[in-house]
Structure 1
Amino acid sequence: MENKENKEAAAEYENEPLIKDELERSKVKIMRALCDQEDPLTKDVDDLMIRRFLRAGGLDTEKASKLFLKYLTWKRSYLPKGHISESEIANDLSHKKVCMQGHDKMGRPIVVAFGNRHNPSKGNPEEFKRFVVYTLEKICARMPRGEEKFVVIGDLQGWGYTHSDIRGYLAALSILQDCYPGRLGKIYVVHAPYLFMKVRKLIQPFVDSNTKQRIVFVENKKLTSTLLEDIEESQLLDIFGGKMPLVPIQDS
């Protein structure tokens, strides 16, 4: 009996509309119809992706459609195989600069980026961009059904001028904002040195308002307590006072 009820509940959940707001649902249908005429890849994406671009376009279906079609063109050229192979980004992966482990209390995947493991003088700008796309694609693949966002802990301990990469930061920001709108839930910046604040001023004009409001600078003395407000101890990495081991994104 319980099995039958569970199956019925699961079936009901699967059939539940992903978008409950009637206005957004109707605009998503309009946008899908507009984009499908221009690009057949439209049929391969779900309504939530279209809604993310709709919201990025301020619910203006024409503006949002242009943003979405631009993304599809980018995806076709940047991800012709549907993914970035690890052999293409072996150098960036070898530095273990990004790890992914655990979920916050809202079920969003947690990503940790180590600023002092990125050295632009020993890297390739194009490879780094592919690494960013690989990272974002892997994060999105880990999303539970119905969840759209992830959270980042940006650890800048030991970061200095040798790790500074304005061009790389701007490229990563552009990819995130233009190709993965509505995916970022929050960024916790921890162990930020004074020097970083100077670099931040150069990047700030390129950060859209939606991204800005999701950035939280965490005081060192309140690091663990601040993170535990949103992340259970069992899901928080041990280096921040939790119990999760550190796992490089390629191994997660």
Structure 2
Amino acid sequence: MASTKIFEPLLPPKDKKPAIHPELTNDQVKLQEKIQEHFTKDGYTLPGIESEGQLLEEEKFWLSYECQLRYLRATKWKLNDAIKRLESTLKWRREFGLYTHVTAEHVEPEAVTGKEILFGYDVNGRPAFYMIPSRQNTTESHRQVEFAFFILERAIDLMDEGVESLDLLINFADKAKNPSMSTSRTVLSILQTHYPERLGKALVINVPYLVNLFFKMITPFIDPVTVQKLKFNPNVVKDNIFAEDQVMKDFWGGNQEFEYQHEKYWPALIQLCQARKEKWLENWRKLGGTVGIQESAYKRDLQEEPEKAPLEETPTATDDA
């Protein structure tokens, strides 16, 4: 039977079992409660911001129960460190423009060749974030960094109940062009500082000598916990990381004949993520619309995928800078 090509992102599978964190100790419960108290005390504002320091709705939504625990785990359950790091990330998200500047329209010129794609989910339901450096289509710029984190944020939109991390799949075939050391360090710094506990696995294939040398050069800048998540030249199906129907056939050994066509994939991804986020926000508001609501609670009644939200047609971008 001939295979059928697919041009759009897959929906999250409903039969996958997400990884479970150990049950919290009494001391850990108290630490989370102290973080909750800190961010919900009367008159709270982000430190160092003279005006508009009050938390935005989007920031309260981001400061979920699970988010607080991710930062506590990342700081080895040190309360003050976790609070400072949360506040640092809240400021960074504003400064980076995640709620304002870094939009689908802004980053679309980076997306037209399919150099960064969300497609499929591993056996624990983690979204797969593909990077294909050989498809690089623009000169190195800050927008390339913005694009990477725009896609990462969309991966978070594709995380079902109980899923908190993603898998990064990097293919260095076809004379892939490495990013500069400066860009690599910038991306790594943002990932480690502002997205703790978000990387499930980093799977890298077709690693030539120079790329291998490149990884050795940047490894000292990577957190040791993150280094342990790196796997080079894995067989993701035989190693039981992905089921065949959740991974691309080309290079990765799955059975999905995925072909990137920007005019089909891009609007489908944006509409899917937008619909899921709008549904979650609606549920979150019904649950009180405040800091510390559990992600599992506002995702729980998402039994069926919401209809795609109306989206104005986005013109296909072609510029190169």
Q: TM-score, length-normalised on structure 1?
A: 0.81
* Counterpart check, 1:234 vs 2:224: no
Deviations 1:57-92 (A, max 9, x none): 111010111111000001122236357212212331
Q: Which has the higher helix share?
A: 1
1:21 to 13, 19, 24: 24
Secondary structure of the equivalent of 2:238?
Answer: helix
**Structure 1 residues 32 and 55, CA gap change in structure 2 (3 angstroms):** same
Residue in structure 2 matched with residue 47 of structure 1 by the alignment: 65
> Counterpart amino acid of 1:183?
R
2:114 to 82, 90, 96: 96
> Counterpart amino acid of 1:100?
L
Q: Does structure 1 conserve the Cα–Cα contact (< 8 Å) formed by 2:115 and 2:133?
A: yes
**Structure 1 residues 194 and 73, CA gap change in structure 2 (3 angstroms):** same
Residue in structure 2 matched with residue 30 of structure 1 by the alignment: 34
Unaligned ranges ≥5, structure 1: 1-17
Q: Does structure 2 conserve the Cα–Cα contact (< 8 Å) formed by 1:83 and 1:134?
A: no
Cα distance in 1 for partners of 2:225, 2:215 equals 17
Residue in structure 2 matched with residue 225 of structure 1 by the alignment: 238
Deviation at 1:129, TM superposition (A): 1.6
Deviations 1:149-204 (A, max 9, x none): 111111111245x4342222112111211111100000111111111122112211
Residue in structure 2 matched with residue 167 of structure 1 by the alignment: 182
* Counterpart check, 1:127 vs 2:163: no
1:1-252 equivalences in 2 (<5 Å):
20-22=23-25, 23-36=27-40, 37-39=44-46, 40-41=54-55, 43-44=60-61, 45-79=63-97, 81=99, 84-118=102-136, 122-160=138-176, 162-218=177-233, 222=235, 225-226=238-239, 229-239=240-250, 240-246=252-258, 250=266, 251-252=268-269
Cα distance in 2 for partners of 1:77, 1:188 equals 30
Secondary structure of the equivalent of 2:258?
Answer: coil
Unaligned ranges ≥5, structure 2: 1-20, 47-53, 270-321
Deviation at 1:34, TM superposition (A): 2.4
Residue in structure 1 matched with residue 308 of structure 2 by the alignment: none
> Counterpart amino acid of 2:154?
K
Q: TM-score, length-normalised on structure 2?
A: 0.65
- The 10-residue stretch of structure 1 (78-87 or 49-58) with the greater mean CA deviation from structure 2: 78-87
Residue in structure 2 matched with residue 15 of structure 1 by the alignment: none
Size of the aligned set, in residue pairs, is 228
Question: Percent same amino acid among aligned pairs?
Answer: 23
> Counterpart amino acid of 2:29?
R
Q: Does structure 2 conserve the Cα–Cα contact (< 8 Å) formed by 1:188 and 1:218?
A: yes
Secondary structure of the equivalent of 1:146?
Answer: coil
Higher relative contact order (CA 8 A, sep 6+): 2
Deviation at 1:107, TM superposition (A): 1.1
Q: Does structure 2 conserve the Cα–Cα contact (< 8 Å) formed by 1:115 and 1:156?
A: yes
CA RMSD in angstroms comes to 2.3
